[in-house]
Amino acid sequence: MICAVTTVRIPTMSAASPSSGYIDELLRLLGVSPGAAQHTQDLILRPVSVILIALTCWLSSRFGSRLIRRGLGRYSRRIQTAGDPGQAQRIDTVARIVANIWRVAVWIIGVITMLTVTGINLTPLLAGATVIGATIGFGAPVTRSGLSVGLLMLLEDQFRIGDVVEVNDLVGTVEEVSLRVTRLRSADGTAWYIPNGQILKLGNTSRHWSLALVHVLVRPNAPISEALAAIGQAATAVAERDELAPLFASKPMVLGVTDVASTGITVDIEARTRPGDNDTVARALREGILDHLGTSDLLAITDPE
């Protein structure tokens, strides 16, 4: 018995080449070849994607930094209301730096994403950037030193925005602080940009307390005990004024005779003040001493230096 074996061939459907988007599928349905459809989709979607990514980065950096400043600003105002203006000032300084770091991080991620969308292979770029970064790192110790010094100054809270400081030989008000550079505004309005790595000497006159020192010159033949008592009374009267009392951190102190010359006897008086108010207190003490001793024939001249 002979059995006939019949082979039945089951037709298999060839898988269509996968499409990568709705534009590609639409063009293929319209009869466009797969290669042309894919190319057309790339020409349309890639520029649009880059524009959308750039817009997203701009919005994120702008509104994200604003939210950071507003959030920390609210916390700063609560701290200031609680009676700690110094800590509030420090929070304001940190808020600006965090906002700047946020903007830089957003744009770095955005640029990398845009390069990826355009089809650029980032492996050679990242390898080259690593080599260049290492070269710059080893060849630019000033930059590395400036960043590390800036970070340490922020962590140690050496100064804040709004403080009056003396950096090297420059005196001014701190307007901006970053990890790399500090901007000062001097009394004549000049803006000084000082790299943090070049800050060798730093003095802050806006911390804890300041000292008002006044030199009073009395007549050479004046009775010293009477002059010291009169100067002390004048200084005490100035410190007890309602508008000046909050500026004093301690009562004025007459130090006594510090110099004797043919032109007169120098008597020094000092008082601790709130940070930065020493010049205001010194001027008020001179005026008060002039008003009190101007008609007593004791005073020769005030603050000869």
Structure tokens given for 192: 């000084």
Q: Where in the chain is the domain with CATH 2.30.30.60?
A: 159-204
Burial class of residue 126, CB neighbours in 10 A (0-12, 13-18, 19+):
exposed
Distance CA 134, CA 85 (A): 42
What is residue 291's predicted lDDT score, i.e. its pLDDT?
Answer: 86
Q: What are phi and psi of 223, to 5 degrees?
A: -65, 120
What is residue 191's predicted lDDT score, i.e. its pLDDT?
Answer: 92
What is residue 95's predicted lDDT score, i.e. its pLDDT?
Answer: 80
What is residue 41's predicted lDDT score, i.e. its pLDDT?
Answer: 66
The DSSP letter of residue 208 is: S
Distance CA 198, CA 210 (A): 26
Q: Which fold has domain 210-302?
A: Alpha-Beta Plaits (3.30.70)
What does pTM read for this prediction? 0.51
What is residue 11's predicted lDDT score, i.e. its pLDDT?
Answer: 43
Binned average pLDDT, 10 residues per bin, the chain of 305 residues: 45 44 64 67 74 90 87 78 70 79 87 80 66 54 59 74 86 84 89 87 84 88 87 90 90 89 88 88 90 72 47
Distance CA 193, CA 195 (A): 7
The DSSP letter of residue 304 is: -
Q: What are phi and psi of 86, to 5 degrees?
A: -65, -45
Q: Give the E-state strand segments of 103-200 in sequence order.
A: 164-167, 170-177, 181-185, 191-195
Structure tokens given for 250: 């301690």
Query: Which H or E run contains 253?
Result: strand 253-261
Pairing of strands 191-195, 253-261: unpaired
Total length of the chain: 305
Q: Where in the chain is the domain with CATH 3.30.70.100?
A: 210-302
Residue 127's SS3 state is helix
With respect to CATH, is domain 159-204 assigned 3.40.50.720? no
Pairing of strands 299-302, 253-261: unpaired
